[in-house]
A and B are shown apart, each in its own frame.
Chain A
Amino acid sequence: MNKDYLLEKAGSDTEIEGLENLLAAYRFEPGRLPMLPTKTPEVRRPWFRWLTFSFAAGAAAVAVFAGLLAYGRIEKLLLNVDGPAISENVTSVLADRSNSINMAPAATGSEIVITDPGSSRKTQPAPQRVANKRPRATTRTLARATPPVTLTKKEKYAYDQLMVALYITGTKLKVVQDTIDRVDDKKDERADNEK
């Protein structure tokens, strides 16, 4: 047996050449390329997945923060429904006459009534009698947001902006999740299998 021919096809060896000729029928015949998917697989690197996940987490955090911020503003707008100066008045009254202000829950339960017997006559119009016999004192009511709420034009705009922002954020998060789960690749594979 010629080792050179066996290893590097140098020289000749009738025995090995005979085996080669005999087994030539099993040799690979160059043909057409296998049917490959039309879409080129997306190049993904290990760090890319972490970057995507970090981006998604950051976007979600920003969305939540923005949502809370917007919600806080809307709630503030709703609380100021009686007038923009109401909170300032309450603050000044609390600072000046903290010992004479009584805070007590109203009879209806859903309202907070602030009673200010001393200074009300100077700054506010004369108290009016009410049908449910509330104390004869100047009362200011901070109405809590109770549905249904009628929004002003500005509030409606803010609410719509918040909804749009949340919708866009949710859509982007879905795209990121699908990218991580390789949904497109699975769809392509399914489509190829069906074909």
Chain B
Amino acid sequence: MPQGEAATETFVFSTKPATARAEARCEQEAELVERFRAGDQEAFADLYRQFAPMVHGIVLARVPRDEVQDIVQEVFLAAYRNLHSLRDSRVFGPWLVKITRNQAAEFYRSSKPTEELPEHFPGGRRRDSEAAEVLRAIRSLSDSYRETLILRLVEGMTAKEIAARTGMKPESVRVNLHRGMQMLREKLGIREARR
């Protein structure tokens, strides 16, 4: 597991959507959860399509790349089995984030210590090695920064989407993205271009 810096940011969950659009999305997700509880399997497929990138990003921030796909599958399997225990269907996203983090932690508890295969081995493409280097730099940041940065840079989610999906406060996401980006630039040796 990449050793992060001391966490200075904390995740603050909020059940209050930031905007009307986010609220509508939250209602839609809640409706999907209720439909699944009523026995509609297609509703769970929709939930998977909507939340799989977020789960993938959070897992990628924590475990070796080769293991990511398996853990994503385990997360959704656990969600499928335990969705009946979710009291408030409006907080499906934060609940799924919690399951994802637990599954990632479980991976390190249950598996033997391994070392990730370097992607810049002889014969590999230069671009791949650069990507691996950037990813390693992101994963060396603290939890709050690396999760939001991967969701933004890898999964292509905006700050509002990250807040709506994960249940974090939009202000926290903005701060984490801004500070995390500054730290990443320092690690990668990118200097601020004076305008």
Contacts and interface: CB of A to CB of B under 8 A. Distances in A.
Interface of A: 1, 3, 6-9, 15-16, 19-20, 22-28, 30, 33-37, 40-45, 185
Given A28-B53, A28-B155, A37-B80, A7 B131 contact: no
Interface stretch (B7-15, B20-28, B44-52, B102-110): B44-52
A7 B174 contact: yes
B31 interface: no
B131 A41 contact: no
Contacts of A1: 181, 185, 192
Interface size class of B (residues with CB under 8 A): 35 or more
A123 B85 CA distance: 76
A27 B154 contact: yes
Interface of B: 37, 39, 41, 44-45, 48-49, 52-53, 56-57, 60, 65, 72-73, 76-77, 80-85, 127-128, 130-131, 134-135, 152-156, 158-160, 174, 177-178, 181, 185, 190, 192
Nearest to A46: B87
Q: Taking chain B's interface residues, is the majority helix, strand, or loop, or is none over half, making it mixed?
A: helix
B76 A41 contact: no
B49 A7 contact: no
B56 A28 contact: yes
Contacts of B52: 28, 30
Given A6-B178, A34-B77, A44-B84, A23 B160 contact: no
A25 B131 contact: yes
A26 B41 contact: no
Contacts of A28: 52-53, 56-57, 72, 155
| Residue from B131, B153, B192 with most neighbouring chain A CB atoms (10 Å) | B153
A36 B77 contact: yes
Given A15-B190, A19-B134, A7 B159 contact: yes
Nearest to B133: A22
B160 A8 contact: yes
20 contacts: A1-B185, A6-B181, A7-B158, A8-B159, A8-B160, A19-B153, A22-B130, A22-B134, A26-B135, A27-B155, A34-B73, A34-B76, A35-B73, A36-B41, A36-B44, A36-B77, A41-B81, A41-B83, A42-B84, A43-B84
A22 to B, nearest CB: 5
Contacts of B178: 3, 6-7
Contact of B153 (A8, A23, A44): A23
Contacts of B158: 7-9
Given A34-B76, A34-B77, 5 more contacts: A6-B177, A6-B178, A22-B127, A27-B53, A36-B77
Contacts of A6: 152, 159, 177-178, 181
Contacts of A19: 134, 153
Given A7-B174, A40-B39, A40-B41, A26 B81 contact: no
Contacts of B85: 44
A27 B41 CA distance: 26
A24 B127 CA distance: 11
Across the A-B interface, give the 4 residue pairs with the lowest CB-CB distance, nearest first.
A28-B56, A34-B73, A7-B159, A28-B53
Contacts of B73: 34-35
A23 B119 CA distance: 13
